[in-house]
Each structure stands twice: as C-alpha cells, then as structure tokens.
Amino acid sequence: MKQLTIGNVTLDNCYVLGPMAGVTDLPFRLLCKEQGADLVYTEMISAKGIYYNNKNTEKLWEIADEEHPAALQLFGSDPDLMAEMARKIDHRNFDILDINMGCPVPKVVNNGEGSALMKTPELAAKIIRKVSQASSKPLTVKFRKGFTEDTVNAVEFAKMAEQNGAAAIAVHGRTREQYYSGKADWDIIAQVKEAVTIPVIASGDIFSAEDAIKCLEQTKCDGLMLARGVRGNPWLFAEIKQAIMQHDAGEEIQISKPQLSEVVEMIRRHGRMQVEYKGEIMGMREMRKHVAWYTTGYPHSAAIRREANFIETYEQLEKLCDKILADSKS
C-alpha cells in the first residue's frame, strides 16, 4: 500500500480518477470509487459559471457522501475571479481544490484557460497563489508537459506551482499540441518528481495494470491518475491494486478481467444511476457513449454502438443489455 498525503488529506492508496468533462459525473465517480479509486475528481467547473450562478454548474459540484475524498476542479484565467469563486465555494463538501491548467480543448485554450496558461507562467503563478490563499482546502494543479514540443516547461511550471501554494501536482506527459495523440512522455514526469518536494501524480497512457507498474517504476511518482483508461473500465482500479500486490510479493501477475455478464450488469446499474441523477432523457443520452466504451473489444461491438446511439429510455437500454447477453451465447 502506498499512501498519498495531499495537504491535510491522506488517501488510503495512490490511485486517482482524473477529471474528464462529460465523463466523471457523480454516477461514474461512485462506480470508480467502488472499484478502488482512492480520490475522485469532478468534471471541470468554470469559475465564470459559478459567478453567473449557472444552473448546469451547480449539478457539476454535487458530491455524494460515499465519494470522499473528492476533489473539485476549477478552471479560469482571471486570478481575482478564481480566488473569489474559490472563497465562495469553500464551504461546500469537497476535500481538495484543483486548478485545471492542462485542458487542450480549443474553446478553453482560446479563452486563455486550461493548457493556455502554460504559455503565461506568470499569470498561472498569480492564479495559484491567490486561489491557495483564498481556499481552506489543499490545492492541486493539473498541467501538461508544455504547450508545444518547442516550449516544454513542465519542470519550471511544477517548481512555480509549489512555490505559490500547490500541495500536489498532476502532470500529463503530453504537450497541448499533441492533444491525446502519440505517446505520453513519462520521462518528463520523472524530471518533475526530482525537481519538487510536493507529491507528483503521473497522468497519461495508463490503460492496464502493466502500464501502472511501468509508470510508477519509471517516474518514481507518488500517485497515478487514471482517465481515458477507465472509460468503460472502472475495474482498472481493482486490477491495478491486485497487480501491484502480486508484483510487490514477487508473484506472477494474474489479473481477473470481468465477465461479459458483469460488464452488462455494470451498464444496467450505471444506467439506473444516470436516470436517478439526471432524469431518463438526459441520463440515457449520456449512457450512449458509456455503452460504446463498456463493450469495446467484445463481439458485435460496432453493432452495439450503432444501436446504443438511438437509446432514449431505460427500457431500451435493458433490451440492448439482454440482446448483448443473448448474442454472446449464440
């Protein structure tokens, strides 16, 4: 067991569900928590959205009692507004506050937010300093290798974050220019780990238990952040923990993957949770992409994905689940 302490929050272990817009909502976070996530992050929340009392924003920061410890991720580029909103939400029931300085999406970057802040480290420093002073929660910062391959500055950025009040940092081993293409550079994360004294959480290309072991060994980092690797596969947390125990004991790594019946049961449960949380119409629309992720690699996955794109009701989801099981036996 590798405990991870971030400020006054100590995690049982070091495996973290990273923030993903449109994915890490409350139902999915709960499912990942059940499978062994030690810390979960909300979807990114706009500081401007909080300021303007956006109704959609309120839903994003809802955290269930069973989720703790949970981190809330904030994004924005105005230091004073970010600090003011951090102060405004400080009473809410999250445990850690995170600032997004890694999002590569154009509409975020074009506003000077997310990974665009890696181009303006002085502004980023001001944001981190003001937010850390305004919030009573431990502050983490998530960022990338750099903005482009020619402007790699993760090590300097990490030192700056530490100097301005970050209690831990999460580093994704790609530049903004790469988006999610190519390979994550774990060596840059190792360099960051050597350069700072606060905990460093590695992010990027952790799709299996073997990836997790390699990343921990290569980076010597304090924790792992799982994101795209757990879409349709919340079991990855349990698999990694099982593999690490076997690895540390010098045993052969043997991972038990979920049976198709378990996957289908997870789809049903996830669907019920979405209906309860977002209502049937919105919940089922959300489930379309999740069904595609859950069934990737299984027989008839392309046909399942096509059918899932037309799901409107929970009853239709149930019928599709029955069909998946029936087709697997034929």
Q: Are 17 and 178 in contact (CB under 8 A)?
A: no
Give 1's pLDDT tier (boundaries 50, 70, 90).
low
The residue type found at 60 is: L
Residue 60's pLDDT is what?
Answer: 87
Helix (H, G, I), strand (E, B) or coil at 256: coil
Strand partners of residue 170: 142, 201
Q: How far apart are CA 160 and CA 173, in angstroms?
A: 18
Higher pLDDT, 71 or 55: 71
**pLDDT above 70 for 56:** yes
| 52-71 average pLDDT score | 90
The catalytic position among 14, 32, 103, 215 is: 103
Residue among 183, 232, 222 nearest 204 (CA)? 183
Q: How far apart are CA 311 and CA 318, in angstroms?
A: 10
| 75-85 average pLDDT score | 97
Residue 90's pLDDT is what?
Answer: 96
How do strand 9-11 and strand 4-6 relate by DSSP bridges?
antiparallel
- Produce one character per residue of 208-226: b if its CB has 16 or more CB atoms within 10 Å, e if not: bbebbbebbeebebbbbbb
Q: For residue 171, how many other CB atoms are within 10 A of its CB? A: 33
- H helix and E strand count, the chain: 14, 10
| 133-153 average pLDDT score | 96
The residue type found at 140 is: T
Residue 295's pLDDT is what?
Answer: 94
Q: Is the pTM of this model over 0.85?
A: yes
| 132-146 average pLDDT score | 97
The second-level CATH assignment, the architecture, of 4-248 is Alpha-Beta Barrel (3.20)
| 254-269 average pLDDT score | 93
**Domain range annotation of the chain:** 4-248, 260-329
Residue 299's pLDDT is what?
Answer: 83
Residue among 100, 25, 37 nearest 63 (CA)? 25
- Whether cis (ω within 30° of 0) applies to the bond prior to 69 is yes
Q: Copy the structure tokens of residue 178.
A: 């790469």
CATH class of 260-329: mainly alpha
Residue 24's pLDDT is what?
Answer: 96
Residue 330's pLDDT is what?
Answer: 67
| 184-195 average pLDDT score | 97
**pLDDT above 70 for 92:** yes
Residue 182's pLDDT is what?
Answer: 82
Active site residue 14: no
